[in-house]
Chains A and B, each alone.
Chain A
């Protein structure tokens, strides 16, 4: 059974640029959640995708957007990058949208200069 994978591992961008992060969910899981973890903080919920539809969103601006594909993999897109977007971005998959246990990938470390 393959776990949650994310790519790339690290990324460096400059202010104003756009970035796309990718996540492959665990086999059999149809729900993906994205979290932002700033340095020294706990992860903050960005949004969740269930069967290709957004299924809840945290307190993040619209320049944070996402997609989920028919194979349940997912992308997180961030436009107009700001310095404060520098963080570890974590993807988590769960069996479905009403399962309480989420399994996390290793994360993508984004640095905005």
Chain B
């Protein structure tokens, strides 16, 4: 089956620090990969996505590159802000079937201190 493993949190950083959140996946098929962000008390927001190998998704200073050889999609940001404090979820969809359902990792809580 399909699964996503992401680094356990919580992650605590100082403002302007470099962020990496690791994500690896197992998929039967050729998945599209996503990062979603969940701010306290809210639903999920799509942060970025990549649909094929070597694609780089980017948004709001965050980046992630689809690495098929290592089955990874690590999230990075060069300089985090306090407003980036949230839970980050790595997810995948394997298309081609009758429905496209998201498979999520367990989430990584990021806290950025001023």
Cβ-defined partner of B104 (8 Å) among A6, A42, A55: A42
- Interface size of A by CB at 8 A reads 29
Q: Does A74 make an interface contact (CB < 8 A)?
A: no
Contact status B101-A56, CB under 8 Å: yes
The segment from A12-20, A65-73, A92-100 found at the interface with B is A92-100
Contact status B106-A100, CB under 8 Å: no
In the bound complex, how far is the Cα of B37 from the Cα of A4, in angstroms?
Answer: 16
Number of A-B contacts (CB under 8 A): 70
Which residues does B use to contact A, with CB under 8 Å?
4, 32, 34, 36, 42-46, 49, 51, 89, 91, 93, 95, 97-107
CB-CB nearest 9 A-B residue pairs:
A56-B99, A42-B104, A104-B44, A45-B101, A106-B43, A100-B32, A104-B43, A107-B43, A48-B99
Which residues does A use to contact B, with CB under 8 Å?
4, 6, 33, 35, 40-45, 48, 50, 55-56, 58, 90, 92, 94, 97-107
